[in-house]
């Protein structure tokens, strides 16, 4: 099945950010070096300015000011920017950029091929059809791809994570020459094991309950009644009942967070705004003169959707919110 344009753009954004996530420590764009005991930011050493205080020769007041300027303000500023985006548009970072979520979706897809389910914890299989009606592959032999993929992603994450703490060229040289330090081997082994288990069994649970960045975004989004949300044209619910010719709901089947996209906002707390449900609905209704039933909405249309009223129309200026 050819990906809808929205999902192609999102895939490009995810790939670009994953690449940035990988090369950031290599070019000292941002990392903390345990060997040098200071951070790097945009290739420049980033000190807290408390070295003299640690040595016993500095002024405590100056050190306190430096901690506020070089630690608390940058951290709080970054968090404020993330929360501000989430307040208006939801968990865009999760659905469009987060390198963890891109792994979640990749393993979801492979596990669908192997089991017919996004997760081993799902109770029911998804319909064996893509939104465009073509058969979706189902073959237990895909487990031979699922497990190596999870371990491979886990090892890659462990390596990249280590380069945020140790000199990157030292780490990669040690890998290629099989000459890593003992502490590096321990870190890579432990991180790969933990991440492999998480990617295989708990990736959705981590996104929902374990990721502080995701949870803070969800809280900011859920309290804003006018924030962008997936809106459902409830007056056409009978059209929705015929989705995939009665073989299941395409929007439910594709949601990587295992949510019910037609629910009101308060039941969509973990929504990552990936738009897969919107793309699936558009594909199913590609020949429907009335168009799809799911779209992004915001402002007053979002409030009506939360109240359970029909919130979509072709003329509603609040409908069809775009990123």
Q: Is the pLDDT of residue 133 over 50?
A: yes
Mean per-residue pLDDT, 66-71: 78
> What is the tens place of the pLDDT at every residue in 256-282?
999 999 888 888 999 999 999 999 999
In the three-class reduction of DSSP (H, G, I as helix; E, B as strand; rest coil), residue 295 is classed as strand
Contact 49, 72 (CB under 8 A): no
pLDDT tens track for 77-100? 999 999 999 999 999 999 999 999
Q: What is the pLDDT of residues 140-149, one digit of tens each?
A: 999 999 999 9
Alpha-carbon Rg for the chain in angstroms: 23
Q: How far is it, in rounded angstroms, from Cα 28 to Cα 7?
A: 31
Domain ranges within the chain, ordered by starting residue: 219-307
Measured CA to CA, the distance from residue 194 to residue 98 in angstroms comes to: 19
pLDDT in tens, 184-196: 999 999 999 999 9
Q: What is the pTM of this model?
A: 0.86
Q: Evaluate whether 275 touches 95 at the Cβ level (below 8 Å).
A: yes
Structure tokens at 167: 């000199």
- Range from 54-58, 133-137, 140-144, 152-156 carrying the lowest mean pLDDT: 54-58
Give 233-261 as a DSSP string: -GGGHHHHHTGGGGT--HHHHH-TT---T
Separation between Cα atoms, residue 96 and residue 126, nearest integer Å: 24
Give the Cα separation of 166 and 184 in Å (integer): 9
d(Cα 103, Cα 121) in Å, to the nearest integer? Answer: 18
Tell me the residue length of the chain.
323
Q: 23-37: per-residue pLDDT in tens?
A: 999 999 999 999 998
Edge-to-edge order in the sheet of strand 38-41: 30-33, 38-41, 44-46
pLDDT at residue number 272: 96
Cα–Cα distance, 182 to 174 (Å, whole number): 11
Cα dist from 280 to 117, 170, 312, whole Å: 17, 45, 17
């Amino acid at each position: 099945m050819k990906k809808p344009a929205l999902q192609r753009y999102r895939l490009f954004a995810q790939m670009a950010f994953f690449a940035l996530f990988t090369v950031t420590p290599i070019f000292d764009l941002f990392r903390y070096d345990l060997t040098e005991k200071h951070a790097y930011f945009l290739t420049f050493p980033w000190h807290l300015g408390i070295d003299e205080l640690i040595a016993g020769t500095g002024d405590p007041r100056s050190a306190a000011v430096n901690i506020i300027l070089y630690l608390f303000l940058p951290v709080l500023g970054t968090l404020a920017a993330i929360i501000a985006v989430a307040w208006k548009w939801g968990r865009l970072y999760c659905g469009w950029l987060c390198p963890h979520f891109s792994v979640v979706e990749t393993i979801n897809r492979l596990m669908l091929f192997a089991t017919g389910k996004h997760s081993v914890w799902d109770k029911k299989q998804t319909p064996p059809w893509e939104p465009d009606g073509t058969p979706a592959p189902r073959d237990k032999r895909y487990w031979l791809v699922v497990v190596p993929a999870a371990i491979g992603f886990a090892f890659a994450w462990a390596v990249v994570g280590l380069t945020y703490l140790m000199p990157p060229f030292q780490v990669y040289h040690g890998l290629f020459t099989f000459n890593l330090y003992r502490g590096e081997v321990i870190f890579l082994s432990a991180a790969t094991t933990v991440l492999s288990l998480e990617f295989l069994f708990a990736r959705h649970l981590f996104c929902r309950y374990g990721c502080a960045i995701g949870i803070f975004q969800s809280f900011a989004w859920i309290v804003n009644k006018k924030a962008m949300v997936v809106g459902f044209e409830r007056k056409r619910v009978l059209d929705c009942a015929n989705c995939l010719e009665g073989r299941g709901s395409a929007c439910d089947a594709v949601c990587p967070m295992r949510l019910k996209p037609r629910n009101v906002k308060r039941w969509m707390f973990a929504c990552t705004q990936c738009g897969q449900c919107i793309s699936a609905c558009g594909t199913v209704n590609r020949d429907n003169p009335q168009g799809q039933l799911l779209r992004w909405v915001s402002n007053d249309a979002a409030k009506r959707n939360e109240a359970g009223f029909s919130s979509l129309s072709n003329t509603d200026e609040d409908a069809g919110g775009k990123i």
